[in-house]
Amino acid sequence: MTALFSIYVGILCVVFGLVNSEDAFAMEKIVQSGLDFKDIVARVNSTLVTNESTGCINQISALLNSDQMTLKRMADAWSKFPYSGASYYASKSDAGNYDECIKISTTIDNERILGKYCSWGFAIPISNGTQVYLLATCIPDQCSAADLANITRLPLFVDNYCSTQDTDSKLDAGAVIVLVLFALLFTCTILETAYDIFLEYAGKKPPHAIYTAFSMYSNGKKLLKSTKYSKAGEQVLCFHGMKFISMWWIISGHGAISMFLAPALDYEFRSHWQTQRYAQYIASAHICVDTFFYISGFLMAYLYFKQSISKKSATKQAGSVPMMIIHRYLRLTPANAMCFLGSVFLFKYLQTGPFFSFGIHDGLIRPCKKYWWTYFLYIQNYYNFHYGESLCIPTTWYLSADFQLFLITPLVFIPISLIYRRSFAKTMAALAGVNLICLVTPIFIKLQWRDYDVDFQEYDFHSKLISYFIGVMTGIYMRHHKNKKVTINRMVNLTIWFLALGNMLAVIFYRQDIQIKNEYVARSLCYSFTRPMWCISLAWITYACVNGYGGVVNWFLSSPFMQIGGKLTYSLYLTHGMVIAHYALGIRTRIDFTDWNLFYTNCGHFIVSMMVATFWSLSYESPMITLERLIFNRSKAESKPKSKPSKVDQNGSKE
């Protein structure tokens, strides 16, 4: 049997041209020197088997005796080595031909034999073992990549992320249940939309708001409704544009990251791309997240200190906290839960590809099923990282941090409200002290615990305190001065605008320099100080736009298009990760990484994300806001079934 197997391997070697390559010669030298491959195996998260597989040998024997063409097709689907640019220019990995392998299906003696594609199933170490070529393999379905190593003694086959055409081909029980749930909600949406349109043409009102809660017609009108600046009232219209632009930037950043995961034709250019100054138009997208924290803090303070609750005693204010938390949880969770269910149970059936199986199962399904409770308790940004685990739907780390910031807000708002009644100046001084603490605390944590992962700053909430409470301070200041007109000289206004925008550019480029140097202390200090710098500029933009000094900036940020986009940002944030993953994990071959291709791809991500987010908002976000209002304010909902959304909803306080 081993001899028969050697024939099969010989076919593969001929196809590869492996015997004559310089890297194969280097590989042979490494093998002769007794290189320990355990470290390489660990890097690809695989383990070699010790026993030969009888089923594998039987399938190969059957193919050799009866269907050698299928073996040749399998060999043809393997990655070819050496491939063009492999030594110096291209990525040291190749995906082979996934579709050719996965479509292989033959029957010999009533036994079905499938092509089994293994991404990175064959690893070739070169140089001194510091570099590894990762190549895809195509083998009979009862074989493992490790079987090849065990039988042929060829160096380093690894059992790594294999799939056949039967993988995820049938709906499992969880997928059926979730699919039924989505179908029921969609049916409800269709029926209520038709009923709502009928009532509209009949000139009637629904007997209760519950009958139109899921209507895309009513929810669509709310989404498309815009407010003129002169009638803004309590709304801060410029926030819509700030959120929408920030969301576009975030989608572009995540899209660029996805293109770094696939093998590249021009790996050398791609690896140096992030160090280019002009690349900051995408590479600095992560700073936009602080825009959302700033807006969230601003809106919390702006609304809280308008309401009568802020004028109550500390005891009564504390008594209202549980209901505030319930409202917030119900505002975030329904649309988020549908994203969880769709991603974990249905998404795996929507795409295929050489990187899709391990990307979905290891990167999404496993952590989500294991730590689903941390996801819904909004603590995964700490708990999962503490145990060295991946996040469930990584982009949703923000929701955990935002909810945690919301939980600590009453601890500050209640004492601040008591100070505010006596002295506005003391209130500002107290908030300045809070911001100083929020600035110093993350620095102390990062410098005190040097094993603290500096990149964890992207996921914790304590380093975002400064952004949030600068928003709080700005919100209270503008609430106090809402009806007090301040005259600013034209030249002074232009000067402040110049300084604010220049400060934001300085933050972007300074963070790039620090990231390139990659020194722990410098990065820790940079991340801590650039956040308040960024938010101070946002505070000026907010103040100027609300008080009539925003000019064309305010016109653009408050335009009807931006208002619609601003209302979609929560659904955009929830769904854009799956849109990008669907594209990136379905890539079949090495990509050509250029600025134009990156721009073109990101435009596609944005357009498709907008389409999905619109559906998500109309189907799951808006209906749940209406239902939440019905649950906690039933009498009002019955008397005003088509009441306008609250100011919090219009401003999109989620983000």
Assess whether 344 and 365 both reside in one domain.
yes
Contact assessment for residue 104 and residue 64, using Cβ atoms and an 8 Å cutoff: no
Report d(CA 62, CA 143) in Å as an integer.
13
Answer with the one of 164, 185, 214 that is the final residue of a domain: 164
Report d(CA 534, CA 374) in Å as an integer.
31
Assess whether 155 and 178 both reside in one domain.
no
Mean pLDDT (whole number) for 165-186: 91
pLDDT in tens, 374-428: 999 999 988 877 555 678 888 889 999 999 999 999 999 999 998 988 889 999 9
Assess whether 18 and 77 both reside in one domain.
yes
Assess whether 216 and 285 both reside in one domain.
no
Q: Does a cis peptide bond (omega within 30 degrees of 0) precede residue 641?
A: no
Assess whether 221 and 86 both reside in one domain.
no
Assess whether 234 and 218 both reside in one domain.
no
Report d(CA 556, CA 544) in Å as an integer.
13
Mean pLDDT (whole number) for 357-373: 85
What was the pLDDT predicted at 61? Answer: 83
What was the pLDDT predicted at 231? Answer: 66
Nearest residue to 342 via CA among 590, 545, 132, 619: 619
Q: Is 121 part of a structural domain of the chain?
A: yes
- Tell me the percentage of the chain whose pLDDT exceeds 90: 36
Nearest residue to 430 via CA among 375, 389, 366, 473: 473
What was the pLDDT predicted at 87? Answer: 65
What was the pLDDT predicted at 532? Answer: 92
Report d(CA 544, CA 478) in Å as an integer.
11
CA of 537: how far to CAs of 339, 491, 544, 601, in Å?
A: 33, 18, 11, 31
Q: Is 35 part of a structural domain of the chain?
A: yes
Q: Is 289 part of a structural domain of the chain?
A: yes
What was the pLDDT predicted at 13? Answer: 52
The whole domain housing 150 covers 11-164
Confidence band (pLDDT; 50, 70, 90) for 209? confident
Nearest residue to 547 via CA among 491, 499, 477: 477
Token couple for 418: 């008591």
What was the pLDDT predicted at 86? Answer: 67
Structurally, the chain folds into a number of domains equal to: 3
Token couple for 478: 């503008």
Assess whether 188 and 206 both reside in one domain.
yes
Work out the burial of residue 180: count CB atoms within 10 Å of its CB; fewer than 13 is exposed, 13-18 middle, 19 or more buried.
Answer: exposed
Q: Is 649 part of a structural domain of the chain?
A: no
Confidence band (pLDDT; 50, 70, 90) for 160? low
* Predicted confidence (pLDDT) at residue 371 exceeds the cutoff of 80: yes
Contact assessment for residue 537 and residue 452, using Cβ atoms and an 8 Å cutoff: no
Q: Is 92 part of a structural domain of the chain?
A: yes
For the chain, count helices (H), then strands (E).
31, 5
Alpha helix locations (H) across 342-464?
356-360, 366-370, 372-376, 380-386, 397-422, 424-448
Token couple for 583: 């594209």
* Predicted confidence (pLDDT) at residue 492 exceeds the cutoff of 70: yes
Assess whether 35 and 99 both reside in one domain.
yes
What was the pLDDT predicted at 48? Answer: 38
Assess whether 277 and 295 both reside in one domain.
yes
Phi, psi of 336 (to 5 degrees): -65, -40
pLDDT in tens, 591-625: 888 888 899 999 999 999 999 999 999 999 999 88
Assess whether 433 and 514 both reside in one domain.
yes
Contact assessment for residue 368 and residue 336, using Cβ atoms and an 8 Å cutoff: no
Mean pLDDT (whole number) for 565-578: 94
- For all residues of the chain together, what is the average pLDDT? 81
* Predicted confidence (pLDDT) at residue 4 exceeds the cutoff of 80: no
Highest mean pLDDT among 31-45, 80-94, 133-147, 152-166: 133-147
> What is the C-alpha radius of gyration for the chain, rounded to an integer number of angstroms?
29
Assess whether 249 and 358 both reside in one domain.
yes
Nearest residue to 13 via CA among 79, 66, 88, 100: 79
Q: List the Cα angle 297/528/289 in 5-degree steps.
A: 45
What was the pLDDT predicted at 122? Answer: 76
Q: Establish how many alpha carbons lie within 13 A of residue 630's alpha carbon, considering only the half-sphere containing its beta carbon.
A: 16
Report d(CA 606, CA 622) in Å as an integer.
21
pLDDT in tens, 504-547: 999 888 877 777 776 777 777 888 888 999 999 999 999 999 98
Q: Is 642 part of a structural domain of the chain?
A: no
Mean pLDDT (whole number) for 77-106: 81
Report d(CA 442, CA 434) in Å as an integer.
13
Q: Is 262 part of a structural domain of the chain?
A: yes
* Predicted confidence (pLDDT) at residue 15 exceeds the cutoff of 50: no
Assess whether 178 and 269 both reside in one domain.
no
Confidence band (pLDDT; 50, 70, 90) for 232? low
Amino acid at 558: S
What was the pLDDT predicted at 129? Answer: 53
Q: Is 6 part of a structural domain of the chain?
A: no
Mean pLDDT (whole number) for 570-581: 94
CB neighbours of 634 closer than 8 A, spacing ≥ 6? none
Token couple for 392: 């469930």
pLDDT in tens, 310-363: 678 888 888 888 989 999 999 999 999 999 999 999 998 988 888 888 788 877
Query: Which has more confidence, 543 or 654?
Result: 543
Report d(CA 285, CA 290) in Å as an integer.
10
